């Protein structure tokens, strides 16, 4: 019987590794996806470097100095200064924090809205499903940008907020997050609904329901794990879209209010800057562009890793 | 079929109605109101006068009632007066619409031609070098902030190279066809680049899928030339989902047009809506937004109809 005991352990099969390890393995082979992940990590580090750099160079990102407007790059100001004499590099870093944070938080909130609507519609079906899906269709049919501009133009004092709060940075930060997340949840909702529909009548889900499990148990335990991968891909792509929306709204003056920088509002008067200081018109947009393209390639890589059939 | 169109039209009208109320309400929440603006230009306006003016214009009434009055007037074709243009709203809208149509139609055609060509080339050898480059171009198009792309176009082609004018639709005192065309080059290029990315990805994905099908293999086996296989046998079938996606992308195209027009100072719908919101021109902003919604809804309906027309296997219910 020694022949069997001497056998090496069987090679680990895909099933033994677990689905997430396997997905990670496939993702690591996706070159553009991995490159994007690295670029995004670097961008996050760049944004987080704002505070240490401020101390290192002794610069306040909001301090204006009208005597040194449009200074060329120097040892004190590595990328020069902007139209108010503020350090461009530090503002790009702080602006990055704001832009990335808006992208992540608005996506998270929109994702939760989409998840709730999608699961509810798919699980309960019937009239509720029809109503929710008509609302979703209606949302998808809307011209989003003009609508976001109107939402961004809303005067918060007319909603009963104090004038101080209405003009604060915090208000502009949360307002842009809320207005983006209440319009950008439709793709998640549709995805989740379709997945819920296909799962809710599988035998194991029926068995769970027959044993008395209610919606509050079945959804997190059986439905969500099965829709996790397409949702992660869709959420990734949403982050890119949200960052673009943030930049556009802030650029047009309906987003993050200056002096707090965001990559979008740093381009506020870029149309005039194009002739005087082209660099100031280039850097913030370039960072938005690199971030969003990396996010989109990351989504592509995740898609390939999660759904191997899509890559054949 | 007729029932399908009827039902979808009804649905679209409901969406439009709901939106008109939402936008009406939102516009009331924008800074200032018409009476504030009259008072601002008139130091003699006492609070009593202001209250009186509010009563005259019905601004002291509840939102729902004001909306009802607006709706009744709108249904008879009376959309009110534009504050900033001092003209009836529809008279401001018409020329802007024509301008936007020009921009959007030309950009759309450029974008469709470009994406068909590049998408088909990319799908010939998925994973190859050419496919990689085209994919990079497509991703760049999806990811670039349109307003920044416009800025960079201005920076390079207007400020540095002086090839094209940076803004406006014609040079003062000229305005011939060539002159107008020169003014359209940069806006059209910007808008086309911004929409092509998504299209390329759809054409490519659809082509790759169709190229794997049996009928394509059969065509090859029968000795059809490669051009015939790709363009006749594969492309025709790949078109079906692509056409739908393209028609559905009207919203993206309109978003892009709003930004392109604003950046290049083109007096179209997008810039008109933007200026109307900035200038507290409530009537104009409201009608502009509703019109944009209406056209988007109509294009979605056309997308569905085109889908059924291209693919007889689908029956519209």
**A9 — alpha (psi -120 to 50), left (phi > 0) or beta?**
beta
List CB contacts (< 8 A) between A142 and chain B.
19, 251, 293, 296
Helix H segments across chain A? 2-6, 14-17, 19-28, 31-48, 50-57, 88-124, 126-140, 144-153, 163-166, 169-183, 186-200, 203-210, 215-218, 224-252, 270-276, 278-306
Task: Quick: pLDDT tens for B272-310.
Answer: 888 888 888 888 888 888 888 888 888 878 877 777 777
3-state secondary structure of B82: strand
pTM over 0.90: no
Q: What distance in Å separates residue A247's CA from the closest CA in chain B?
A: 8
Q: What distance in Å separates residue B148's CA from the closest CA in chain A?
A: 6
3-state secondary structure of B89: helix
Which residues in chain A (217-256) have CB-CB distances under 8 A to chain B?
Answer: 240, 244, 247-248, 251-253
pLDDT value of position A52: 80
CATH superfamily assigned to domain B90-310: MetI-like (1.10.3720.10)
How far apart CA A74 and CA B202 sit, in angstroms, is 46
Among B18, B26, B151, B213, pick the best mutation site for testing chain A contact (most A Cβ within 10 A): B151
The ipTM value here is 0.84
3-state secondary structure of B86: coil
Domain A41-50+93-194+231-310, CATH:
1.10.3720.10
How far apart CA A275 and CA A288 sit, in angstroms, is 21
CA torsion angle for A49, A54, A56, A57 (degrees, to 10)? Answer: 130
Q: Around B178, how many Cα atoms within 13 Å sit in the side-chain half-sphere?
A: 1
Say how many Å lie between the first and final Cα of chain A, rounded. Answer: 45
pLDDT value of position A10: 59
Contact B69, B58 (CB under 8 A): yes
List CB contacts (< 8 A) between B259 and chain A.
145, 248
CB of A179 within 8 Å of a chain B CB? The answer is no
Task: Quick: pLDDT tens for B74-113.
Answer: 888 777 777 777 788 788 888 888 888 888 999 999 999 9
Low-confidence ranges of chain A (pLDDT < 50): 1-3, 311-312
How far apart CA B179 and CA B177 sit, in angstroms, is 5
Contact B54, B35 (CB under 8 A): yes
How far apart CA B219 and CA B15 sit, in angstroms, is 46
User: Where does chain B hold its CATH 1.10.3720.10 domain(s)?
Assistant: 90-310
Contact A222, A195 (CB under 8 A): no
3-state secondary structure of A195: helix
Contact B296, B251 (CB under 8 A): yes
Domain boundaries, chain A: 41-50+93-194+231-310
Q: What's the Cα-to-Cα distance from A171 to each of A163, A164, A179, A184, B244, rounded to whole Å?
A: 11, 9, 12, 20, 40
Task: Quick: pLDDT tens for B162-212.
Answer: 787 777 777 666 667 777 777 788 899 999 998 899 899 889 988 888 888
């Amino acid at each position: 019987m020694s022949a069997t005991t001497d056998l090496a352990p069987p090679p680990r099969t895909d099933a033994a590794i677990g689905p997430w390890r396997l997905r990670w393995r496939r993702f690591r082979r996706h070159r553009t996806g991995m490159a994007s992940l690295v670029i995004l990590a670097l961008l996050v580090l760049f944004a987080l470097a704002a505070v240490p750099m401020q101390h290192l160079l002794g610069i306040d990102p909001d301090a204006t100095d009208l005597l040194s407007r449009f200074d060329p790059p120097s040892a004190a100001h590595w990328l020069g200064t902007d139209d108010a004499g503020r350090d461009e590099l530090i503002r790009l870093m702080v602006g990055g924090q704001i832009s990335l944070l808006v992208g992540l938080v608005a996506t998270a909130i929109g994702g939760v809205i989409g998840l709730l609507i999608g699961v509810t519609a798919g699980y309960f079906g019937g009239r509720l499903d029809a109503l929710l899906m008509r609302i979703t269709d209606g949302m998808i049919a809307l011209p989003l940008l003009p609508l976001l501009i109107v939402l961004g133009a809303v005067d918060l004092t007319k909603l009963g907020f104090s004038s101080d709060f209405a003009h604060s940075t915090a208000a502009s930060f949360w307002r842009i997050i809320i207005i983006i997340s209440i319009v950008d949840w439709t793709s998640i909702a549709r995805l989740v609904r379709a997945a819920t529909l296909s799962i809710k009548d599988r035998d194991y889900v029926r068995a769970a329901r027959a044993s008395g499990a209610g919606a509050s148990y079945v959804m997190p335990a059986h439905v969500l794990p099965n829709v996790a991968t397409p949702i992660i891909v869709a959420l990734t792509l949403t982050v890119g879209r949200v960052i673009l929306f943030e930049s556009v709204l802030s650029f047009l003056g309906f987003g993050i209010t200056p002096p707090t920088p965001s990559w979008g509002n740093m381009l506020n008067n870029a149309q005039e800057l194009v002739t005087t200081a082209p660099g100031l018109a280039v850097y913030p947009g370039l960072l938005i562009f690199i971030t969003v393209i990396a996010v989109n390639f990351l989504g592509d890589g995740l898609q390939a890793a999660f759904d191997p059939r899509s890559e054949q | 079929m007729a029932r399908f169109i009827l039902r979808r039209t009804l649905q679209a009208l409901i969406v439009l109605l709901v939106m008109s109320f939402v936008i009406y309400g939102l516009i009331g929440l924008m800074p200032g109101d018409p009476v504030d603006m009259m008072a601002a230009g008139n130091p003699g306006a006492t609070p009593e006068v202001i209250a009186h003016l509010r009563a005259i214009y019905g601004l002291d009434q509840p939102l729902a009632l004001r909306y009802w009055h607006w709706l009744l007037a709108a249904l008879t074709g009376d959309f009110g007066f534009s504050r900033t243009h001092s003209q009836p709203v529809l008279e401001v809208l018409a020329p802007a619409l024509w301008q936007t149509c020009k921009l959007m139609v030309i950009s759309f055609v450029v974008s469709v031609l470009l994406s068909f060509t590049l998408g088909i080339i990319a799908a010939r050898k998925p994973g190859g070098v050419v496919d990689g480059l085209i994919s990079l171009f497509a991703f760049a198009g999806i990811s670039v902030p349109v307003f920044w792309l416009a800025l960079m176009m201005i920076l390079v082609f207007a400020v540095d190279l002086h090839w094209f004018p940076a803004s406006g639709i014609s040079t003062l005192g000229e305005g011939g066809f060539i002159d107008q065309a020169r003014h359209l080059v940069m806006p059209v290029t910007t808008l086309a680049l911004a929409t092509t990315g998504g299209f390329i990805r759809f054409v490519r994905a659809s082509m790759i899928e169709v190229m794997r099908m049996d009928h394509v293999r059969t065509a090859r086996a029968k000795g059809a030339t490669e051009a015939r296989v790709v363009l006749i046998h594969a492309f025709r079938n790949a078109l079906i989902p692509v056409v739908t996606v393209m028609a559905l992308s009207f919203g993206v195209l309109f978003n892009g047009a709003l930004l392109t027009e604003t950046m290049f100072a083109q007096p179209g719908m997008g810039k008109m809506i933007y200026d109307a919101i900035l200038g507290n021109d409530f009537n104009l902003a409201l009608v502009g937004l509703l019109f944009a919604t209406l056209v988007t809804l109509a294009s979605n309906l056309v997308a569905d109809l085109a889908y059924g027309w291209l693919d007889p296997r689908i029956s519209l219910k």
